[in-house]
Amino acid sequence: MDPFILFVLPAAFFCDLLFGDPPNLPHPIRWMGVAIAKAEPYFRKLPLPMEAAGTIFAVSLIFGAWLLTYLLVSLAGAIHPLIQRLLEILLIFFSLSARSLESAAMGVYRLLDAGELPAAKEKLALIVGRDVAPLDEVGSSRAAVETVAENLVDGVISPLFFAAIGGAPLAMAYKMVNTLDSMVGYKNTNYWEFGKAAAKIDDGANYIPARLSVPVIAIAAQILSGKGKQAFRTAMKEGESHTSPNAGFPEAAFAGTLEVCLGGPSIYGGNLVEKPYIGKRFGRVHRNHIPRACQLMLLSSLLWFGIVWMVSLFLK
């Protein structure tokens, strides 16, 4: 039996559920952000069109993340197999974010519940890309629910998917894809050409995991509230009604489960972005939907891990 599947994946997943993102440990995702920021000026100076330079920039960093992780894991294995497995556990653990996502969203909820909207918006700004200043309590609650839904894919479904396929190196390559998209992917006119490749690669990487998330969320919804069919039908009907080719599927499944309307116009970098509504027939988001969204996200994460683990055991 492959010890990676038997021990490494479960250990990494349950470490994330137990410990989340320890603030005092060095984190490879932060290092990726530093690498992106330092490399960008050099690639922008290439004597190429911005789109071509951005493509080379993105591909180089993604391949670099995979290669560096592969070399580190190989070196650890050459020293001792146990060291290799411990390193793999640590790296895959760092690629997951279910507990930290739940903690951040619940922090917003607790502040909203205490009537501290300004403080809640400050905390919300750490986990969403939109401008939080114009948001009221409903808007803040909606943004928190949406980011829990979307980051279920980015922070759990996709990392486990790629870890099961290609181990820690592919999981780290995926996190570089994700980090590139969050930093340079179509964020504004400055990145419209340079960040195009990063955004497209992220869309491609999440295409299958985002769609696989729908039945998993539906099963979790059925267990929690008996809304599995409604979650699945809403995702199938409205999942493509989103400016992102992927984010609409988990968001629509969450909208169907919680019976809330998500999406709609939002402000990014001072610019109004018209986004379609998802779950238009449902009511407005209330702050009490945030803990329910977190419960749905955590149960979906556990179910997805179980599916990935059992499939991997069967195939290997």
| Proportion of the chain above pLDDT 70, given as a percent | 98
**pLDDT category of residue 57 using cuts at 50, 70 and 90:** very high
Query: CA 291 to CA 289: how far, in whole Å?
Result: 6
Residue that wins the pLDDT comparison between 293 and 191: 293
- The predicted structure's pLDDT at residue 131: 87
- The predicted structure's pLDDT at residue 233: 96
Residue 296 scores a pLDDT above 60: yes
Query: CA 151 to CA 18: how far, in whole Å?
Result: 18
List the structure tokens of 26: 């060095």
Mean pLDDT of the region 310-315: 88
User: 50: helix, coil or strand?
Assistant: helix
Query: CA 80 to CA 83: how far, in whole Å?
Result: 5
**pLDDT category of residue 223 using cuts at 50, 70 and 90:** very high
Q: Tens digits of per-residue pLDDT, 101-119? A: 999 999 999 999 999 999 9
- The predicted structure's pLDDT at residue 6: 83
How many Cα atoms sit within 13 Å of 270 on the Cβ side?
Answer: 2
Query: CA 261 to CA 46: how far, in whole Å?
Result: 45
- The predicted structure's pLDDT at residue 20: 85
- The predicted structure's pLDDT at residue 25: 67
Query: Which residues have CB under 8 Å from 177's CB, separation 6+?
Result: 62, 198, 201, 202, 205
Q: Tens digits of per-residue pLDDT, 93-102? A: 999 999 999 9
Nearest to 253 by CA among 305, 304, 211: 211
- The predicted structure's pLDDT at residue 275: 83
